[in-house]
Structure 1
Amino acid sequence: MSDTPATTSCCRRKAIGFVLLVGLVAVVAGGKAILFDTMDPDCFWHLRVAEQLLQDGIGPIVDRLSFASMQQPWTPYSWLAELGMKSIWDAGGYRLAVATQATVQFSFVLAIAAACRMATAALPPRARFLPPVARLHCGRPGTPSFLACALATATMAFISLPYLSFRPVTAALLLLAIAMALIVRDRAAGERTRAVWLCAPIAAIVVNLHLYAVFIPMWFGALLAGALWERLVVADHAERPEAERRVSRCFMLGMLSGVGCCMTPMLPGLIAAGLHYTSADPMVAGGYIAEMRPFFHGTFGQVGAAIVFIALIAILVRLKHLRPGERLMLAMAVLLLTQWGRFATVFAISAAPMIAVAIGGLPDRTLARLPVRLAMAIVLVMAAVRIGSDFPKSDTPLQAWINRHGPDAPGYPAEAARYVQTNVTPNSRRLISEFSWGGYLEWEMGSSYRVFLDGRTQLFTPAFWNATYLAGRMEREAFLKQIEADAAILPASSSMFRHALIKSGWRSVWKDERSEVLLPPEPTITQKEARPAGGMIGGLFE
């Protein structure tokens, strides 16, 4: 029976409401880059690494940014993203970088929404193993459960936003979300689409952006295991050829995606870096880095944990709606989420379509109501105007933009850096920095100084981290007493190094609400004669 005009109009109104609601979520995600974020601490050293790659060539490089790093070749496995970030910065400065971050985050939400829409859309069944879908509310095939898709998108965007910024992983996550949408589309269409084969070249691109490329073959591995289960346990004799076709298809997609993950000039170093992070990095294991802790820490994390718990309950209630491959994929995502908070984004990409299917029975008629659609349209316009008005003006310097939220919010020691550049003579050309500011100081002062440390934890020995951030007060004092540098730029509050430096004779010469500058004690003539060239600490860093 053909659709009536009333049915068609109903579907159109619901689709418009869905677009407005998802658009509002996407605008909020993109607006975070403009309204709330400063620049990510790591983006600055990524820009400096890109400069060195252009000078030294694509491949392992010896660090020139930190004087305390291991002076051995290391692998900048995000080289393609770093070169892209530098190109963006060179073309339009930090304003274009902010716009790019907002665009990528906006697109990330849209990609998740697309996956949810395709997961719940009713397409003509091709085989017995087609996953069950939500009941139709408009009476025609191909119509998704709009409200369920929007809610799944919004909740998963919420837990992802803290981990999105202007750095390589954000671009990688967008491509992973696109790959997931292609996988979901293929599954909903009886695993017969051609577009899903694009996942292999997507993996080849992502592997040059971030380690997360490995998740694409992992997803296909989970689907392959599920297809094998269906072949061995579920399929009867008549369905066996179709089940075998699914096994072969998943195997080929997984193999090609795995090959794509090898398409990088940094492969040996990339593998070594992955193993280091998971088994040998004391800063990761010690839980000092916020995103390397379980995601449920803090108030925001607890709210996110409640959302995830409710979503998982909804999925478990309707677990029969998921095929074995999806169930295994979900189990992998949950396991990752319990390890590190930064995997919340990967969980969101994997779980959002399953959540949409699990709550697919929600009625869509709310989205079809004219007052609701008008309200969403008005809020969407207001949000866009607010974001546009807060976008940095052409005459706003970076130093003002990154500290616009005041000294109590995350920011950078711009004034302290200016003081040191103006009033301190670079003799050793060394500058003591702390963890979250090292990258910024490398970018701001790298032509005059090498900093003590930055966020590249793999470039420093376990002994270094155990003597600084993971040590007790006495061990830290003994270690920092050996450091020779021209100045130290430290947080005005909650500094890990200030007490040890003051106890070693360093003196405060400048301070504002955000940062403080310390200078070393003047050495006596005997100390000057006794000090070996290059300082006293090289052996510990090697």
Structure 2
Amino acid sequence: MLFAIAVADWSRFADPDLWGHVRFGQEVLRQGHLVWRDPYSYSAAGHLWLNHEWLSELIMGVLYNSLGVFGLKLMKFACAALTVSFIAAAESETGASPWLQFAILISAAVTMNVQMQFRPQAFTFAMLSGLIYLLARDAYRGRAPLWLAIPMLAAWANLHGGFVLGVATLAIYTIVCCAQDFAAGRGFANLMRLGSITALATLATLATPYGIGAWRAVLHALANPYTRIVVADWQNLWLSIGSRWHTEPLTVMFYEIAVLLMAALFFSFVLTPKLGDLPLVVIATVMSAAAIVSVRNVPIAVIAIAAPLARHLPAALSGGWPQLANASPTRSASRASRVIFAILAALLLVRGDFFSNRLEAGMPYPVAATEFIRQRGLHGNFLSLFSWGEYLIWHLAPNSKVFIDGRYDTMYPQNVLVEFFAFNYLQPGAQIALDNYPTEYVLIPPDLAARKLMDSRRDWRLIYRDDIALLYARADSPVAKIAGLPVAGSAKAATFP
């Protein structure tokens, strides 16, 4: 168990939204109430901010203020521990052999570790695995305290937008169970039980400061056409495997393991369809389809697959490989394996930098450029990448504002997104972000398509450059008239904070 948890928690890096998550939580702590109107951007200043992740960010703010980066690492480890523990508990309901349960568990842990990061979605993995455990217990034992789903969904709706997965999971389980009862002539008792729990759990998701607004924000994010274009985590599984085949072989291997788990469940269910857990198989199928549509859903697929796979795989193997299907460790092997896996878990934690109070960034950030901005006392409105937006908010707010940041799908109006991406990709209307907004500085990487536009504009001047970032200012601004521009700097590696 400890080894599987360490594997799921092993990968650690600061993603583009971490600076924002912590800062937004700190701001709620400082003000003593939620921030309802945006104070960080100039393209949508004062716009309604439906921050459905507010509770996660509050937790992150408290932990960071109290324990620094190590507090965030403890939060991530706790989410990984809960997720792995619930998956193991769900598997244990199937009666599969311990070694087979472990094989599936460690495969799920390996697959999840890329997405198990310092993000509110880590709470979704923990919540979904807990819900799947309750449903597995209900399916395999005939009864479980499913009423716990009601408070779970109420908390979940304040932690992360993935609460819609919880509602979908309950709805699928209810529909398939009741369809089976109807076909078998068992009456409507189960419909009343499961239907009332699903309805009350769905209503519980309205117990947030935003009410129905939380649903509106999540559905808007899911329907946003730009999300699947510009965010790698939202891309199709097959396309993501193809595009990362040579550049990120380890990530591709994790995705391939997920595909193998999906295939294993499909073929084992085809061979053994009458094991009484069709609702769980349907849930796993739907979650697998979601993973194919978007790679960020791969962890939810393996969470849903684990229990039904542990149920069907032994039966499917029993004909040709009964020793594999029923393998169990001897007492001496069990003792030895505990020592070995405990050592391996400790190595993963130490080598994964778990105990340090630092965190490496997962991508290049304009570290030296930001230092130049602060040293020169520059402040104003910055047009930059959305993946750099919350980094700039952390370092430059409140004296400076950004055009866009990682909240693009929960706060910014659609026209702002259209105008930003036109600039970013040098599409028709690229100049709107410069001319129709009070943009004072442009901070972009050297290889961005928009560089061609910036270099062609005489009303803008390059004032700083390094290998990661180019900083432009309006040609009539005081800073653009300083001699010796552009200043050449040396790029630096980023760490959180």
Q: Same fold (TM over 0.5)?
A: yes
Pick aligned residue for 1:295 from 237, 241, 253 = 237
Match of 1:283 in 2: 226
Where does 1:66-145 land on structure 2 (aligned, <5 Å)?
66-69=41-44, 71-118=46-93, 120-121=94-95, 144-145=96-97
Match of 2:180 in 1: 230
Note the aligned Cα RMSD (angstroms). Answer: 3.0
Aligned residues of 2:2 and 2:345 also touching (Cα < 8 A):
no
Match of 1:350 in 2: 304
- The CA distance in 1 between the partners of 2:381 and 2:360, in whole Å, is 24
Residue 160 of structure 1 pairs with residue 80 of structure 2? no
Moved more, 345-354 or 515-524: 515-524
Match of 1:12 in 2: none
Kindly state the Cα deviation for residue 92 of structure 1 after the two structures are TM-superposed: 1.0
Match of 1:25 in 2: 4
Match of 2:262 in 1: 308
Where does 1:52-67 land on structure 2 (aligned, <5 Å)?
52-54=27-29, 58=33, 61-67=36-42
Kindly state the Cα deviation for residue 226 of structure 1 after the two structures are TM-superposed: 2.4
Q: Deviations over 1:79-138 (max 9, x none)?
A: 1111111111111112211232133223312221211112x13xxxxxxxxxxxxxxxxx
Q: Secondary structure at the match of 1:32?
A: coil
- The CA distance in 2 between the partners of 1:495 and 1:154, in whole Å, is 40
Pick aligned residue for 1:447 from 398, 411, 416 = 398
Change (3 A) 1:388 1:75: same
- The CA distance in 1 between the partners of 2:344 and 2:192, in whole Å, is 50
Kindly state the Cα deviation for residue 489 of structure 1 after the two structures are TM-superposed: 3.3
Moved more, 451-460 or 295-304: 295-304
Pick aligned residue for 1:387 from 331, 349, 352 = 349
Change (3 A) 1:25 1:386: closer
Change (3 A) 1:512 1:381: farther
Kindly state the Cα deviation for residue 166 of structure 1 after the two structures are TM-superposed: 1.2
Moved more, 312-321 or 23-32: 312-321
Kindly state the Cα deviation for residue 278 of structure 1 after the two structures are TM-superposed: 3.0
Change (3 A) 1:422 1:54: same
- The CA distance in 2 between the partners of 1:103 and 1:231, in whole Å, is 38
Change (3 A) 1:254 1:480: closer
Pick aligned residue for 1:519 from 472, 476, 494 = 472
Aligned residues of 1:43 and 1:167 also touching (Cα < 8 A):
yes
- The CA distance in 2 between the partners of 1:523 and 1:152, in whole Å, is 63
- The CA distance in 2 between the partners of 1:291 and 1:28, in whole Å, is 20
Aligned residues of 2:98 and 2:328 also touching (Cα < 8 A):
no
Pick aligned residue for 1:202 from 144, 147, 152 = 152
Residue 374 of structure 1 pairs with residue 324 of structure 2? no
- The CA distance in 1 between the partners of 2:231 and 2:72, in whole Å, is 24
Q: Secondary structure at the match of 1:163?
A: coil
- The CA distance in 2 between the partners of 1:28 and 1:271, in whole Å, is 33
Q: Secondary structure at the match of 1:74?
A: coil
Match of 1:257 in 2: 201
- The CA distance in 2 between the partners of 1:336 and 1:484, in whole Å, is 40
Change (3 A) 1:372 1:287: farther
Match of 1:500 in 2: 453
Aligned residues of 1:295 and 1:338 also touching (Cα < 8 A):
yes
Kindly state the Cα deviation for residue 450 of structure 1 after the two structures are TM-superposed: 0.9
- The CA distance in 2 between the partners of 1:390 and 1:27, in whole Å, is 9
Kindly state the Cα deviation for residue 329 of structure 1 after the two structures are TM-superposed: 2.1
Moved more, 470-479 or 70-79: 470-479
Q: Deviations over 1:293-318 (max 9, x none)?
A: 22331234552434423432233332
Match of 2:382 in 1: 431
Give, as a single letter, the amino acid of the residue that structure 2 aligns with 1:200.
I
Q: Percent sequence identity over matched residues?
A: 19
Aligned residues of 1:59 and 1:266 also touching (Cα < 8 A):
no
Kindly state the Cα deviation for residue 249 of structure 1 after the two structures are TM-superposed: 2.0
- The CA distance in 2 between the partners of 1:369 and 1:491, in whole Å, is 58
Q: Deviations over 1:496-518 (max 9, x none)?
A: 433322222444444444x2241
Moved more, 213-222 or 195-204: 213-222
Change (3 A) 1:55 1:369: closer
Give, as a single letter, the amino acid of the residue that structure 1 aligns with 2:150.
A
Residue 271 of structure 1 pairs with residue 222 of structure 2? no
Match of 1:213 in 2: 163
Q: Secondary structure at the match of 2:208?
A: coil
In the alignment of these two chains, the number of paired residues is 456
- The CA distance in 1 between the partners of 2:212 and 2:31, in whole Å, is 18
Give, as a single letter, the amino acid of the residue that structure 1 aligns with 2:102.
A
Moved more, 291-300 or 267-276: 291-300
- The CA distance in 1 between the partners of 2:352 and 2:171, in whole Å, is 45
Aligned residues of 1:432 and 1:485 also touching (Cα < 8 A):
yes
Q: Secondary structure at the match of 1:359?
A: helix
Aligned residues of 1:151 and 1:356 also touching (Cα < 8 A):
no
Change (3 A) 1:501 1:316: farther
Q: Any unmatched runs of 5+ in structure 1?
A: 1-21, 122-143, 404-408, 526-542
Q: Secondary structure at the match of 1:391?
A: coil
Aligned residues of 1:282 and 1:465 also touching (Cα < 8 A):
no
- The CA distance in 1 between the partners of 2:236 and 2:450, in whole Å, is 26
Change (3 A) 1:184 1:61: same
Change (3 A) 1:306 1:186: closer
Aligned residues of 2:426 and 2:450 also touching (Cα < 8 A):
no
Where does 1:460-499 land on structure 2 (aligned, <5 Å)?
460-469=412-421, 473-475=426-428, 477-482=430-435, 484-492=438-446, 494-499=447-452
Give, as a single letter, the amino acid of the residue that structure 2 aligns with 1:206.
W
